[in-house]
Amino acid sequence: QVQLVQSGSELKKPGASVKVSCKASGYTFTNYAMNWVRQAPGQGLEWMGWINTNSGNPTYAQGFTGHFVFSLDTSVSTAYLQINSLKAEDTAVYYCARELVGWFDPWGQGTLVTVSS
């Protein structure tokens, strides 16, 4: 079945970097774009952007340019989200989600990134 499996929770200090992985299975990885969505504690869903899994070209939503980086390793059907220079306000659950024709299905299980000194 189509599935996205994300890497586990991370606890990082301010200023550090983190790389979250999202491994796809059950479909041809390069046929669908991959999106990233953030959910801060107790808050709603915020679209971060997407990456073209054919070209590797990323597109970032406003507010997510700068220290967020989307990348791929198509040989292992995996997308990555790297966050550099972490700040406390980056504490959130980060989801990857396959995009069909605009909607997202399925979603990864989420990765909690906690930034604390």
Partner 1 sequence: EIVMTQSPATLSVSPGERATLSCRASQSVSSNLAWYQQKPGQAPRLLIYDASTRATGIPARFSGSGSGTEFTLTISSLQSEDFAVYYCQQYSNWPRTFGQGTKVEIK
**Residue numbers at the binding site for partner 1 (CB under 8 A):** 35, 44-47, 49, 59, 61-62, 95, 97, 100-110
Q: Which is nearer to partner 1, 43 or 71 (CB)?
A: 43
Q: Around Cβ 22, how many Cβ atoms within 10 Å?
A: 25
Residue 1: exposed, middle, or buried by beta-carbon count in 10 A (0-12, 13-18, 19+)?
A: exposed
- Parallel, antiparallel, or unpaired for β 111-115 and 10-12? parallel
CB of 16 to partner 1, least distance (A): 25
Q: Which is nearer to partner 1, 8 or 102 (CB)?
A: 102
Q: Which is nearer to partner 1, 35 or 78 (CB)?
A: 35
